[in-house]
Amino acid sequence: MAMSQEEILEIVITELMEKSLIELRDVEKNNQPDLYQEVRELSGKVEKILAQMSREDRETIEQYFDQKDRLTNKEIKHLYLQGAKDCVVLLKCLTVI
């Protein structure tokens, strides 16, 4: 079955975003290594706290983080696509294309 334009666009956007994030993380590891270290340390603390919670509370918090991550990813993809569209409009206004 052939992929739709939307599916192809989704794949392209995802790959471009992943490539860009890898590049950003490489740069930021050098510019702000403490920030990444702090996140790793906080992650370990959160894991310890979650381990002490009841199963029901832990699952609720994990569901919250999962849904929040999914929503954030959806918003980021939307903004990325909108940025590409805005770029095309700007280039047209500047008569570059």
Tens digits of pLDDT across the chain (97 residues): 788 988 998 899 889 999 999 999 888 888 888 888 899 999 999 999 999 999 999 999 999 999 999 999 999 989 998 998 999 999 999 999 9
Q: Where do we find the tokens 């929503």?
A: 71
Q: Where do we find the tokens 């994990």?
A: 62
Q: Are 10 and 17 in contact (CB under 8 A)?
A: no
In angstroms, the Cα distances linking 89 to 63, 85, 93, 95 are 39, 6, 6, 10
- Distance CA(92)–CA(55), nearest Å, equals 55
- Distance CA(54)–CA(68), nearest Å, equals 21
Considering the entire predicted model, what is its pTM?
0.73
